[in-house]
Amino acid sequence: MDQPVRELSYAQAIQEAMAIAMEQDERVFLMGEDIGVYGGAFQVTGDLVERFGADRVIDTPISELGGAGVAVGAAVTGLRPIFEFQFSDFATLAMEQIVNQAAKMRYMLGGAVSVPVVMRFPAGSGTGAAAQHSQSLEAWLGHVPGLKVIQPATPHDAKGMLLAAVADPDPVMIFEHKLLYKMKGPVPEGYYTVPIGKAEIRREGRDLTIVATSIMVHKALEAAKTLEAEGIDVEVVDLRTIRPMDTQTVIDSVKKTSRLLCVYEGVKTLGVGAEVSAAIAESDAFDFLDAPIVRLGGAETPIPYNPELEKATVPQVPDILKAARDLVSGRR
């Protein structure tokens, strides 16, 4: 008799990954604002302070620059810190440590040191948190050599990619969409990893490739179901990693479908979709295109507080449907 598949929420999967990492390696510890007794701004850390103690689940002062600096320094000395930002927007306060220190130390010191730090960023809109707490800044950090930047879209990947990040010798930035924290899905027990730098085809199709990131993967899959009923067969590629980007999977998909739609929540200009589009334009997949590449990204505006305006600033399922129909029909 088949055993029922175990399901965890995205947040539970992350918490389990951190617990496993801490159990297996005493060098792993957690840092962040209110992650101890309070359990984290989004309750992801939960009861880990009770399980591992306040010396391994450390509440930091309200200083992202200071906390990030301590995390980077600890990593250089041989520890493996996981530093949680309350909101991804607050990365702006720690860019000196992330961009000028963590990303460059291995290079500047000729490989004599590594910086095995993991930084977690609750990101994205949809919670009514307005302009300074709702941004998607993964493309910012993806621009920096020396950093690895990932966006798990499922509970399975959230656990496996976090464990891969902890084992990685270089700094890994994890962008976790806040609306995904309550989403449930199958998650294996025990230790496993999901490779950083490898995309995943979530749905195979022949008429159109949609490359999506984070929560947009789920919106693309929802749109694909509607389009299937209309006779449009969509392939959905979950990019998963922003840097290093798996362009080969996208190239192979575009060669099959001859059309490409990039869907991402970050602002359209200079976003993840721009890099994906350029990779196709510079590859032999360009000769297979039957229509121009289309980018569907966030609006050129700060995220509003009003819930209806907030929705209007980032791609929704109806926007994906329209763009896909236009592409396949030749209207784009």
Alpha-carbon distance of 167 to 192, in angstroms, equals 11
Q: What is the CA radius of gyration of the chain?
A: 20
Of 1-5, 168-172, 188-192, 276-280, minimum mean pLDDT range: 1-5
Q: Is the pLDDT of residue 225 over 90?
A: yes
Pairing of strands 208-212, 148-150: unpaired
The CATH class of the 7-186 domain is alpha beta
Tell me what the mean pLDDT of segment 297-313 comes to: 96
In terms of CATH architecture, what is 200-329? Answer: 3-Layer(aba) Sandwich (3.40)
Catalytic annotation on 133? yes
Determine the pLDDT at residue 5.
81
List the catalytic residue out of 64, 84, 138, 310. Answer: 64
Q: Are 223 and 230 in contact (CB under 8 A)?
A: no
State what percent of residues in the chain have pLDDT above 70: 98
- Identical fold for domains 7-186 and 200-329, yes or no, is yes
Determine the pLDDT at residue 330.
80
Each residue's pLDDT tens digit, 165-205: 999 999 999 999 999 999 999 999 999 999 999 999 999 99
Tell me what the mean pLDDT of segment 207-229 comes to: 98
List the catalytic residue out of 133, 156, 177, 218. Answer: 133
Pairing of strands 57-59, 7-9: unpaired
Determine the pLDDT at residue 332.
64
Tell me what the mean pLDDT of segment 209-222 comes to: 98
Residue 225 burial by Cβ neighbours in a 10 Å radius (0-12, 13-18, 19+)? exposed
Tokens of 78: 């041989």
Q: Are 18 and 45 in contact (CB under 8 A)?
A: yes
Rounded (to 5) percent helix, strand, coil in the chain: 40, 20, 40
DSSP 173-194: EEEEEGGGTT-EEE--SS----
Catalytic annotation on 7? no
Each residue's pLDDT tens digit, 80-114: 999 999 999 999 999 999 999 999 999 999 999 99
Instruction: Return the DSSP state at 5.
Output: P
Domain boundaries, the chain: 7-186, 200-329
